[in-house]
């Protein structure tokens, strides 16, 4: 699935919330300060052209807008996502969540795909994945 497709996947495409990604996916969660948040839109653009790298690293992209959550999740609200990951309303943030569901990186500025891929590729679990493929 391409990132553009993942960004457009309706919420009911997966069975449940963020915990459903445990041990199978590495979510990148983009928190938008507003519907026109330039940082959030830029972060989405940075990832939109990286579908092969995202797929290879078992990543999914989730965007938390002020009033909704876009991406392959169901049953989560923007408020609950902000509470869970401690991101205040009206703030931009991007988080990399590991397969173990822990926050591996938190940034208040957009991150390049190279930064994200480099961090993931340095993770022990990812190294084992690369060796087994």
- pTM of the full structure: 0.85
Cα-atom radius of gyration of the chain, to the nearest Å?
14
Token digits of residue 62: 């989730």
CA–CA dist 66, 75 (Å, integer): 16
Query: Contact 47/3 with Cβ under 8 angstroms?
Result: yes
pLDDT in tens, 71-97: 999 889 999 999 999 999 999 999 999
User: How is domain 3-132 classified at the CATH fold level?
Assistant: Glutaredoxin (3.40.30)
The region that residue 69 occupies, defined by phi over 0 for left and psi between -120 and 50 for alpha, beta otherwise, is beta
Domain ranges of the chain: 3-132
Query: Contact 96/119 with Cβ under 8 angstroms?
Result: yes
pLDDT in tens, 30-50: 999 999 999 999 999 999 999
């Amino acid at each position: 699935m391409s990132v553009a497709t993942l960004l457009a996947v309706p919420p009911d495409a997966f069975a449940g919330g963020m915990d459903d990604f445990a041990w199978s996916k590495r979510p990148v969660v983009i928190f938008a300060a507003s519907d026109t948040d330039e940082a959030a839109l830029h972060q989405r653009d940075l990832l939109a052209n990286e579908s092969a790298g995202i797929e290879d690293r078992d990543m999914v992209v989730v965007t938390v807008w002020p009033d909704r959550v876009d991406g392959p999740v169901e049953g989560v609200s923007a408020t609950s996502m902000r509470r869970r990951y401690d991101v205040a309303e009206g703030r931009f943030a991007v988080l990399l969540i590991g397969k173990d569901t822990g926050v591996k990186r938190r940034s208040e500025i957009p991150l390049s795909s190279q930064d994200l891929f480099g961090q993931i590729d340095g993770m022990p679990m990812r190294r084992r994945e690369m060796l087994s493929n």
